[in-house]
Amino acid sequence: MLSVKSLSRSFGGVAAVSDVSFDVKKGHVHAVIGPNGAGKTTLFNLISGVYEPDAGSIHLDGQDISGCAPETLAKKGMSRTFQNLQVCMNMTAIENVMLGAHLHQNQSLWAGVLGLTKSADKRLQEEAVALMTYVGVGEYTDAHATQLSFGVLKRLEIARALASKPRLLLLDEPAAGLNDSETHAMTTLIRRIAEGGITVLLVEHDMKMVMGISDHIVVLDQGRKLAEGNALTVSRNPEVIAAYLGTEE
């Protein structure tokens, strides 16, 4: 579904992503792991069109999407969440989810959202409620974002990402900041999303989640791909152990 080839991006003297290649298979859960600063978020920012690559290419279903804007990618079926929550705090929970639905439509984002809330578009509202219920935050539809706990906001962001009806969902550290039981519930949700037919690419430090959920794992270290394979292969790789799994985590 997704093919990343020789992707590179530097910031000043820092090679954040350097000559990284891998494929994401349709219907699978893929993970990108690596120590802090390994280039995982930069890789997501390149794939999701936040940054343009210095070199290399990204193909989605065989189509070159390198350098495409995030809105264009949303229409092509790609959606994402962010390591640092990007929820609009001056909106209600359901308005945030409807914002995601708008990425799927051919309307100006802000004008559309404002128009929608005014005209109370029933269908999109119902879809947003259904998505919020699906991710487990259905009781908070009318709550203002500022009233919601961190765990609820993380799920809300996933509902917003799902609202654009993605085929490929990128999750940057879905378990970050969550406690053990919330992480367990998040793992169940991601598995359910994948079983529902959405291909998932996630970045995550929580090894229990990664190892328990991923069909395929790519390990980055200092911008480069160190290893890839299934959980067993990767966790037994001496270079990976030295670079990453050798830490307490």
Ligand X SMILES: Nc1ncnc2c1ncn2[C@@H]1O[C@H](COP(=O)(O)OP(=O)(O)OP(=O)(O)O)[C@@H](O)[C@H]1O
Sites of contact with Mg ion (CB under 5 A):
40-41, 83
Q: Cβ-count burial of 231 within 10 angstroms (0-12 exposed, 13-18 middle, 19+ buried)?
A: middle
Does 31 engage in binding with ligand X (CB under 6 A)?
A: no
**Piece of 30-38, 60-68, 115-123, 140-148 that binds ligand X (CB under 6 A):** 30-38
Between residue 44 and residue 83, which ones bind ligand X under the rule CB under 6 A? 83
Q: How far is the CB of 54 from ligand X (least distance, A)?
A: 13
Is 28:216 a contact under the CB 8 Å cutoff?
yes
2, 4, 30, 42: which one binds ligand X (CB under 6 A): 42
7, 29, 38, 210: which one binds ligand X (CB under 6 A): 38
Does 177 engage in binding with ligand X (CB under 6 A)?
A: no
20, 29, 40, 153: which one binds ligand X (CB under 6 A): 40
Q: How far is the CB of 60 from ligand X (least distance, A)?
A: 21
Q: Which is nearer to ligand X, 67 or 115 (CB)?
A: 67
Closest Cα to residue 176, out of 136, 203, 214?
Answer: 203
| Rounded Cα–Cα distance for residues 220 and 218 (Å) | 7
For ligand X (CB under 6 A), the number of binding residues is 12
Instruction: Using alpha carbons, list the distances in angstroms from residue 24 to 160, 181, 208, 209, 249.
Output: 22, 29, 21, 18, 26
**Piece of 32-40, 55-63, 183-191, 236-244 that binds ligand X (CB under 6 A):** 32-40
**Piece of 11-19, 22-30, 179-187, 234-242 that binds ligand X (CB under 6 A):** 11-19
What single string gives the DSSP state of each residue in 154-185? Answer: HHHHHHHHHHT--SEEEEE-TTTT--HHHHHH
Does 39 engage in binding with ligand X (CB under 6 A)?
A: yes
Q: How far is the CB of 82 from ligand X (least distance, A)?
A: 11
HSE-up (13 A, CA, CB side) for residue 249: 16
| Rounded Cα–Cα distance for residues 204 and 89 (Å) | 25
Instruction: Using alpha carbons, list the distances in angstroms from residue 61 to 39, 88, 199, 245.
Output: 24, 31, 12, 33
Which helix (H) or strand (E) element contains residue 135?
none
Residue nearest to Mg ion (CB): 41
| Rounded Cα–Cα distance for residues 154 and 81 (Å) | 9
8, 41, 81, 235: which one binds ligand X (CB under 6 A): 41
Which residues would be at the binding site for ligand X (CB under 6 A)? 11, 14, 16, 34, 36-42, 83
